Amino acid sequence: MYKFFILFSLLFTSLYAVNPKAYESLGNKIYDNVENVKKLTSIGDYYLYVDDINKYVLAVNSAKQEGFSLDANSSSQQRKNYLKKLRELASENDYYVRMAETSLSNAIANGDSLLFSKILNTGLIDLKAHKKEILNYYFAHKDDINATGSLKEFLDKSTVLRSKAEAEARRNRSKKLREEAKIKRLRERDKKRQLELEKRLDQAVEKKKMEIRKEQREELIKSI
């Protein structure tokens, strides 16, 4: 009866908890990424690593079950053994992530659009961290790329963001042009006013001169 209760508890936990709670900050990274690592086996460049990856996947699944079996009655040694396994698996997970990043760099450098698409669709690449080089390569080789899965989703989001950025840039340019046109109109108006003022001043000065000359002539006539 007790064994049945334990098995039922493990089954209930596995159904309603995604990952084990013990050392979850370390375990989640491994468990959430294992299916992405497994996708490497479908890429031809990784045919030499297929056996190692399959063994890794089995080890992760085994560790996950072990993690679910831990409870308040588990000994400290059991917890230490589980933590040791997690650390070893975390190191292997990081190794496959680095391999994927190297493959992405090689795909971009060699113009290998097929590898580029496949490696991005594994989910092992931090798309935000590599956004610039991914977009640059895609727009330079988009005729050779059939965007699907994670790549398509990323490109769709990036295209929307780029469209928004371009629209904002157009609005800013339009606003700048309007401001420049306004400044130009104000300067032309001020220049026109200045010219009119100078013209009126010249006319006033000329009028004053004529009045003075007239007075001088009249004075001269009176003195004769």
Tens of pLDDT, residues 2-39: 444 444 444 544 444 689 999 999 999 999 999 999 99
Q: Tell me: the pLDDT tens digits for 57-79?
A: 999 999 999 999 988 888 999 99
Which positions ≥6 away from 204 have C-beta within 8 Å? Answer: none
Report yes or no on 60 lying in a domain. yes
The C-alpha atoms of residue 77 and residue 173 are separated, in whole angstroms, by 66
**Token output for 130:** 């590599």
* Mean model confidence pLDDT for the chain: 85
Domain ranges, residue 13: 2-110
Q: Is 116 a domain residue?
A: no
Question: pTM of the predicted model, to two decimals?
Answer: 0.63
pLDDT, tens digit (0-9, with 9 covering 90-100), for 40-63 = 999 999 999 999 999 999 999 999
Of 162, 79, 147, the residue nearest 116 (C-alpha): 147
Return all residues near 36 (Cβ < 8 A) that are at least 6 apart.
Answer: 122, 123, 124
- Number of Cβ within 10 Å of residue 89's Cβ equals 22
Q: Which amino acid is at 172?
A: N
157-190 pLDDT, tens digit each:
776 556 655 666 677 777 788 888 888 888 888 8
Closest CA to 107 of 141, 69, 83: 141
* Residue 165 belongs to some domain of the structure: no
Residue 199, Cβ neighbours under 10 Å: how many? 10
Structural domain tally of the chain?
Answer: 1
In a domain, 177, yes or no: no
Residue 201 lies in a domain: no
Domain contains 78: yes
* Euclidean distance between CA atoms 14 and 21, whole angstroms: 11
What pLDDT is recorded for position 17?
A: 64
pLDDT at 220 exceeding the cut of 90: no
**204 part of a folded domain:** no
DSSP code of residue 45: G
Residue 90 maps to a domain: yes
